[in-house]
Amino acid sequence: MKQYIISIRIVLLMAVLGGLVVSCKKMDDYKKYAEGGEIVYPATFDSLKVIPGNYRVMITGFLAGIPNITRFRVYWNDGLDSLESSIIRKGKVDTIRQIIANLPEGPKTFTIRTYDDKGNRSIPMTITGNVYGANFQKSVDERGNRNILGSIVNTNGAAEISWANVDAYVGVRGMHIHYFDLNNQEYDFIEPMKGKDQVTTLPDINLYKPITYNTLYLPDTVGIDTFTVPVKTLPAFKEITLLNSVYPVANRANDGNRWATPRDWTLNAAAMNQKDSKGVYYGGTSIGDKKIYFEAGWGASAISNGKIHQVVTLAPGNYSFEGDIDWWSVGSKNDTYLTVAIGTNGLPDVSNISNAFSYKRVDNGSRVITTFTLTRQTTLSLGLVLDLADDGEAMRFNSLRLYIK
């Protein structure tokens, strides 16, 4: 039995000694591989990204750690092409932004290594991204410019451009807009894209110089280059868009039966001659006939110097203030004037109508027009002055509109 136990101990001892020999041999092999000293791997970049562009990309990343990293090299095309750049450390964490140009369109793989001041190189880092070019430009050309739903000049003298809604996946970055103001100051800017209900306002617009625009596209959510389409010119403006001046006219208050007071207009007490059962007065429009509408007689009192107006600020130019008449009932007088006055204080009385900047008496049942010219930006009161007798007189307009000539 002792002999058997001794034999086992001898076998175990030989196994341990054999393991030591093998281990020593492996250590000797490592030393042979690492002959010359310990292998050192410099720090690498974090958060590497490939930002796409037009036949180029930008590689970005963060570098932290010891400050002895002096350069990096980017390889592509299976290592056949490369670019080296120096690194100047400025802080604990530095950002690299490296442009690589003259690349073919399509997916591309890049390998990056960093190098320290002793020539040691890091383990390779691999990252992929896309390069865009003619094929993407073709797709952009097919999409074309972002559609415009409408464009107006408002009562403050500003142009408003309403853009069609677009989804984010379409890749619209924004709209490049060029225009001139009243002082011939030139503006050239990019309006960032909002997907829905986007309106661009251009203040103090020069009505007689073009507004141009074109749409910018990004091939991805981010990019170093935008792709665009040919420039378009906005059609020339033909009208200043007055508020609530065209059928159907909205009201801000009504008697619940027939008469109402129009929204967005200023009316004096004389113009509001329709009284409800509670003694509240209304005037200027009707619930059923949603137009600029006045009646005197048929149970309503006369209207003496009734006035309805709104204030506008206009650029230099030629204008035509026009009323499209729906119904014109004449009794003993029906003195109704389409009137334009300087300033914000409203319109003159009928007896002083000649003091208005521009006016025209309604003398037919179809259309009335008064024209005027401004040599500088001017704020005006614009609307109607009415003297209606209570013997059955009426004025009803389908529209009151201000045109640019």
Confidence of residue 151 (pLDDT cuts 50, 70, 90): very high
Note the pLDDT tens digit of each residue in 353-396: 999 999 999 998 899 999 999 999 999 999 999 999 999 999 99
**Residue 363 neighbours by CB distance under 10 Å:** 10
pLDDT at residue 10 is higher than 50: no
Give the pLDDT confidence score for residue 64 in this predicted structure: 82
For 212, half-sphere exposure in the C-beta direction (CA atoms, 13 angstrom radius) is 9
Q: What is the mean pLDDT of residues 18-41?
A: 46
What pLDDT was estimated at residue 359? 98
Q: What pLDDT is attached to residue 39?
A: 80
- The sign of the torsion formed by the CA atoms of 135, 137, 141, 146 equals positive
136-237 classified as CATH 3.40.50.1260: no
- Residue with tokens 């007088």, as numbered in its chain: 333
Check whether 200 has a pLDDT greater than 50.
Answer: yes
Output the CATH code of domain 251-404. Answer: 2.60.120
Task: Tell me whether residue 55 is exposed, middle or buried, using C-beta atoms within 10 angstroms of its C-beta: 0 to 12, 13 to 18, 19 or more.
Answer: middle
The pLDDT value recorded for residue 37 is 59
Instruction: Assess whether pLDDT exceeds 60 at residue 73.
Output: yes
CA distance linking residue 43 with residue 96, whole number of Å:
14
From the list 291, 386, 292, 384, the residue with the least C-alpha distance to 333 is 386
pLDDT at 335: 96
For 235, the token pair is 């059609």
Q: Which residues belong to CATH 2.60.120 in the chain?
A: 251-404
Tens-place pLDDT, residues 263-312: 999 999 999 999 999 999 999 999 999 999 999 999 999 999 999 999 99
Q: Distance between CA 100 and CA 53 in Å, rounded?
A: 10
Domain spanning 46-131, CATH architecture: Sandwich (2.60)
Residue range(s) of every CATH 2.60.40.10 domain in the chain: 46-131, 136-237
Query: Which H or E run contains 134?
Result: helix 134-143
**pTM assigned to the model:** 0.81
